[in-house]
Chain A
Amino acid sequence: MTTPFEELAGLDRLIHEPARLAILTALASCDTADYLFLQHLTGLTGGNLSSHLSKLEEGGLVQLDKRFVEKKPNTQVQITEEGKRAILQHWKHLDDLHESSKTWKP
């Protein structure tokens, strides 16, 4: 039997950070998205977005494809299979926590 705090602490912090959660949610709904789109979506500065993407890439949740499009640098970001599984698991975990908060009785 886990304590309520243990259940909350079980949330994956790599995913649960708001910006990374937004990035993974967007990427799970499409095939690829580029850096510019993600920047508009999250409202993050370039540096912060790069930092979050690097962490997700290190965790094996996304893969980055840096290339040139019309002589301009363009970074395409794609969620990995592991990333898809992780975000689905995360959503399930959040839903379970939400449900358990409704049914709990002292």
Chain B
Amino acid sequence: MKNLKEIRFIATNFYNLQGLRMVIIGILLIVVCLWANGLKYPISIKSDLILLFEVVTMLTVYYAVDRYYLRTFGRVKPTPEIQRFEINLSIIGGILGLIAFWLDVTYKMPFSLIGLVCGIGLFVDYVRFTWMVKGRRLLYYPIGAALIIGVSLLPLLGLPGWWHVVGIKGQIFAISMLLGVFSIVAGIVGHLFLTRTLSPKVEEK
């Protein structure tokens, strides 16, 4: 029998804990950034096909992962209040992200606005996750958020063009790849938590 707090946490965050999805999104983010980073103009059809292949492969794997979770652990439909909250959060986050991206590519600023928005978004996610249950296992969220915010401010702190040192052409690629790495780590931790807590141990008959 699981701790009742843990049960509430799993039932509330069941979809968010299905971390392999985040792993795929993280890998896709890194792969697309590496592709964009290695682009040489004029862009060849071969290069476009490589990107298309990568995206289609990742979407196929995403679908397979979705089926895996559904068949292994079943379905949980969140409450209408949580659904509304998540939709509103996604819309606000999406709009802020697009504005930050536009400002980042339009103006030369001594920090990465998209990085700051993503870092703050992770803090919001942390608060959302821990609304009901506080657990040390989720500390990687604020740590990741602080890391992304810190890296976004590096040019302002006297390290302009730090991304060139690691062979990346633009700050936006570097920040996106960092987000990709965070998604992979967070996804693996979430998945392990879910699979260990909902282990298919069934009582003896």
How distant is the Cα of A86 from the Cα of B4 in the complex, in angstroms?
A: 16
CB atoms of B78 and A30 under 8 A apart: yes
What 1/0 mask marks residues of chain A from 6 to 25 whose CB sits below 8 Å from any chain B CB? Answer: 00000000000011011001
Q: Does B108 contact A (CB under 8 A)?
A: no
Complex CA distance for A70 and B127, rounded to whole angstroms: 37
Residues of A within 8 A of B73 (CB): 36-37, 40
How does the 8 Å CB contact mask read for A63-93 relative to B, with 1 for contact and 0 for none? 0000000000010100000000000000000
Contact A18 B1 (CB under 8 A): yes
In the complex the two chains form, is B7's CB within 8 Å of A22's CB? yes
Contacts of B76 in A (CB 8 A): 30, 32-34, 37
Contact B202 A27 (CB under 8 A): no
Residues of B within 8 Å of A, CB-based: how many? 26
Contact, CB under 8 Å: B202 / A26: no
Tell me what chain A mostly uses at the interface: helix, strand, loop, or mixed.
helix
The smallest C-beta distance from A19 to any residue of chain B, in angstroms, reads: 7
CA distance A33 to B73 in the complex (A): 10
Q: Are A40 and B200 in contact (CB under 8 A)?
A: yes
A26 to B199: give the CA distance in the assembly, Å. 16
Contact A39 B11 (CB under 8 A): no
- Cβ–Cβ contact A21 & B4, under 8 A: yes
Any A CB within 8 A of the CB of B80: yes
CB-based contact B205/A34 at 8 Å: no
Residue A103 at the chain B interface, CB threshold 8 Å? no
- The closest CB in chain A to the CB of B5 belongs to A25
Contacts from B to A (Cβ < 8 Å): 1-2, 4, 7-8, 10-12, 14, 73-80, 83, 132, 198-203, 205
Q: Which 3 A-B residue pairings sit nearest by Cβ, starting from the closest? A: A36-B74, A37-B74, A29-B11
